[in-house]
């Protein structure tokens, strides 16, 4: 661990990994620009180490030109871009590669692109050591990306915190005190009483119940941009892509910064979704506390659903074939997610047989033991 100004930072990307990342970018540029003489436009101050190490690995006739602007104040991107300083090269008809240490929102890079493209360059591409995809919000492509990282502040290898830390040979990530949020992934087969138990957990622990079904319905009803996009897939009978579902989830999480925690219901359903959820929460200085899986024997589930059909009016509760299919789908979907959280020692199986209160008590005991 290192301390810079009033912040602590922990090792994140080693010097060896940085060298491997830069070698990979260099190999791709050497291949793509074979027979050409690119001009590297280096964004100062942060990119000087990246540019220096990359240039040593470029096997092409090339030039380097250095420009400067600032967009950071402390550990936050200000979004305000100064005029481009130090660039007077005639680039008409040239192949340009912009070298940047890190791309986050893309605001500063968009400005540079607009300036260079207005100067009649033949082509303009971007190479960055690091990219923060969670907050990158521009439509232009980043052609060469060394490593995608979460939205956490990093220093070292040219990157600074109020001008200090650039000289480190590896990259460090800010260490933040983890918030004591209670985040639960709740799973239960059809008929397990998951909805009722979720309500009781919300009431006792003051959590926010985040159901993907509810999120889709509300966004579609309100005709939000993501809701309209999700509906376009659903209307075609297609699955909504993970990317859209995850963006909807991020939007809902960010609407409730005061929440003491979340119950995630219906998400994640795959290992990639579970990994994405980990990233979403890590970027907000939190994480999944546990996955609770309600375990009920199949015959008991079928009996409960058929009994529920007498009052619910739901056709899918009354048809034995449909019930079996729903149970089979549940088993298939939850198996990989269960394995994901079991590997993190976060999966807890809850006996789902008994009265509602008995099951609730088991859930409370399991949660209280981990809190």
pLDDT score for 179: 54
- The token pair at 223 is 């005709």
Q: Does residue 319 have a pLDDT over 80?
A: no
For residue 104, the 8-state DSSP code is S
CATH assignment at residue 324: 3.40.50.300
Mean confidence (pLDDT) of the chain: 85
Low-confidence winner among 11-15, 132-136, 339-343 (lowest mean pLDDT)? 132-136
**Confidence band for 107, pLDDT divided at 50, 70 and 90:** confident
Higher pLDDT, 67 or 13: 13
Mean pLDDT over residues 352-364, rounded? 92
Is residue 30 assigned to a domain?
yes
Give yes or no: residues 125 and 195 share one domain: no
Rounded to 10 deg, the angle between the 212-222 and 225-235 helix axes is: 110
Is residue 128 assigned to a domain?
yes
Give yes or no: residues 7 and 146 share one domain: yes
Give yes or no: residues 169 and 192 share one domain: no
Residues 6+ apart with CB under 8 A from 225: none
Query: Which residues form the catalytic set?
Result: 194, 269, 308, 314, 326
Q: What is the pTM of this model?
A: 0.51
Round to whole Å and give the CA distance between 62 and 42: 13
Give yes or no: residues 96 and 195 share one domain: no
Partnered with residue 233 across adjacent β-strands are: none
> Is the preceding omega at residue 345 within 30 degrees of 0, hence cis?
no
Is residue 311 assigned to a domain?
yes
> Domain span at residue 137?
2-174
- Percent of the chain residues past pLDDT 90, beyond the cut: 39
Is residue 59 assigned to a domain?
yes
**Confidence band for 207, pLDDT divided at 50, 70 and 90:** very high
Number of domains in the chain: 2
Is residue 240 assigned to a domain?
no
Kind of pairing between the strands at 7-13 and 2-4: antiparallel
Q: For the segment 281-301, what is each residue's pLDDT rounded down to a tens digit?
A: 887 778 899 999 988 888 888
CATH assignment at residue 167: 3.40.50.2020
Give yes or no: residues 197 and 151 share one domain: no
Q: Does residue 89 have a pLDDT over 90?
A: no
Q: Does residue 114 have a pLDDT over 70?
A: yes
Round to whole Å and give the CA distance between 293 and 42: 52
């Amino acid at each position: 661990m290192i301390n810079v100004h009033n912040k602590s930072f922990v090792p994140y990307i080693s010097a060896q990994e940085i060298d491997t990342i830069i070698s990979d970018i260099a190999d791709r540029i050497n291949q793509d620009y074979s027979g050409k003489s690119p001009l590297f436009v280096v964004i100062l101050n942060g990119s000087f180490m990246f540019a220096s190490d990359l240039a040593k690995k470029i096997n092409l006739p090339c030039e380097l030109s250095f420009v400067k602007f600032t967009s950071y104040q402390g550990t936050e991107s200000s979004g305000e871009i100064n005029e481009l300083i130090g660039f007077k090269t005639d680039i008409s008809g040239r192949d340009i590669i912009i070298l940047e240490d890190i791309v986050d929102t893309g605001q500063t890079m968009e400005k540079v692109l607009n300036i260079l493209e207005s100067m009649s360059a033949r082509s303009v591409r971007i190479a960055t050591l690091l990219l923060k995809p969670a907050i990158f919000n521009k439509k232009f492509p980043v052609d060469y990306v060394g490593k995608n990282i979460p939205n956490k502040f990093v220093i070292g290898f040219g990157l600074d915190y109020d001008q200090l830390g650039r000289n480190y040979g590896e990259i460090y990530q800010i260490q933040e005190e983890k918030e004591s949020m209670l985040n639960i992934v709740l799973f239960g087969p059809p008929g397990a009483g998951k909805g009722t138990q979720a309500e009781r957990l919300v009431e006792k622990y003051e959590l926010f119940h985040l159901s993907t079904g509810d999120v889709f319905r509300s966004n579609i009803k309100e005709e939000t941009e993501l809701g309209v996009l999700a509906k376009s897939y659903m209307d075609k009978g297609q699955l909504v892509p993970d990317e859209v579902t995850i963006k909807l989830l991020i939007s809902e999480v960010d609407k409730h910064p005061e929440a003491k925690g979340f119950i995630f219901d219906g998400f994640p359903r795959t290992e990639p979704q579970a990994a994405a959820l980990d990233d979403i929460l890590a970027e907000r200085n939190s994480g999944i506390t546990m996955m609770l899986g309600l375990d009920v024997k199949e015959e008991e589930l079928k009996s409960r659903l058929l009994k529920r059909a007498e009052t619910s009016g739901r056709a899918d509760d009354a048809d034995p074939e449909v019930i079996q299919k729903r149970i089979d789908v549940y088993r298939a979907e939850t198996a990989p997610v269960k394995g994901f959280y079991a590997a993190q020692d976060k999966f807890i199986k809850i006996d789902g047989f008994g009265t509602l209160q008995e099951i609730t008590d088991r859930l409370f005991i399991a949660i209280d033991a981990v809190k």
